[in-house]
Amino acid sequence: MHTMIIAEAGVNHNGKMDLAYKLIDVAFKAGADYVKFQTWKSENIISRYAQKAAYQKETTDAAESMLEMEKRLELSYKQFIDLKAYCDSIGIGFLSTPFDVESARFLYELGLGLIKVPSGEITNLPLLEEIGSHPWDVILSTGMSEIQEIEAAIAVLGISERITLMQCNTQYPTPMQDMNLNVMSTLREQFQIPVGLSDHSLGIEVSIAAVALGARVIEKHITLDREMEGPDHKASIESDELATLVRAIRNIEQALGDGTKRITDSERENLAIARKSIVAKQRILKGELFTDQNLAAKRPGSGISPMRWHDIIGLTAMRDFEEDELIEV
């Protein structure tokens, strides 16, 4: 099993290309499979009446409107072309989340074979229809939604065999008690498709636990510095944490194994050392009967297994045995 690890650069470039390139480098050096951005035209997605979320007000200029903030963070289509070209050149997958129909069409023309539908767009019918009209693999985030809304979105997309559902909570950062990782099992059983986690909690342990619970995709926000100004930096991880997360996930993948219980190569050499054999508890003379009183189970395990105890009891010793000597019959 290979877990897809998406390093979510999101808007943590603060609208600056030099920071965007640095975030790509962080994701690549850490070993992430993809680095993901967000693509939109502010005038297409934000009305002048829209209000910032509480966490956005806390981490940006409170006097700035949501529309002003989004315009400041917006990158142009030309800039995304350049970012994808850079990703291609160094060998990391490029992803971006479209927030409007025009941006979805642009990303399709850019050649993306995988697209991410963010939680806030799970009820955006025109966008879902546009995405469903293309032969994409789709990662569908389910924050702020109920089962019925997820079911409706999948029906609109019309490509359930190519969808991965992401458990997600859209509070930044998400309180631990609201992560609800067991929802992944609910989604997997309800829809019979792969599941993953879009993790907005602090730290990396929740993402690691999600892989152990069967997540096939992990998405985690990254930043160059959590102290930077911007809406998502506080709920993001820095470069060293991302590298640790990637290593941990790859270790967990190996540790999960294939589910077949068997003696592994690494432990086989310990069989004789750790298991026991039937031995003489005291000196036994030739012709004596083996009994519960003159036999014992002791290491090493290179002789007759104690599982054959009742087969040996009552047999006659064919030779003398000294105390602790392996019994032979």
Residue 325: Cβ-neighbour burial (10 angstroms; 0-12, 13-18, 19+): middle
Q: What is the DSSP letter of 62?
A: T
Residue 122 to residues 119, 168, 210: CA-CA distances in angstroms? 6, 12, 22
Bridge partners for 36 per DSSP = 8, 95
Torsion angles phi and psi, residue 19, rounded to 5: -70, -35
Radius of gyration of the chain from Cα atoms?
Answer: 30
Bridge partners for 4 per DSSP = 217
Q: What is the DSSP letter of 322?
A: -
Q: Give, in degrees to the nearest 5, the angle at Cα 126 between 122 and 129.
A: 80
* CA torsion, ordered 64, 66, 72, 78, to nearest 10 deg: -170
Question: Residue 67's CB: how many other CB atoms inside 10 A?
Answer: 17
Helix (H) or strand (E) holding 163: strand 163-168
Q: Digits of tens for pLDDT over the chain (329 positions)?
A: 899 999 999 999 999 999 999 999 999 999 999 999 999 999 999 988 888 788 787 778 877 888 888 899 999 999 999 999 999 999 999 999 999 999 999 999 999 999 999 999 999 999 999 999 999 999 999 999 999 999 999 999 998 889 999 999 999 999 999 999 999 999 999 999 999 999 999 999 999 999 999 999 999 999 999 999 888 999 999 999 999 999 999 999 999 999 999 999 999 999 999 999 999 999 999 999 999 999 999 999 999 999 999 999 999 999 999 999 999 99
Domains of the chain: 4-256 (3.20.20.70), 265-312 (no CATH)
Q: Render 259-294 in DSSP notation, one character per residue.
A: S-----HHHHTTHHHHS-EEEESS-B-TTPBP-TTT
Query: For residues 255 and 240, what is the distance between their CA atoms, to the nearest angstrom?
Result: 23
Q: Are 298 and 326 in contact (CB under 8 A)?
A: no
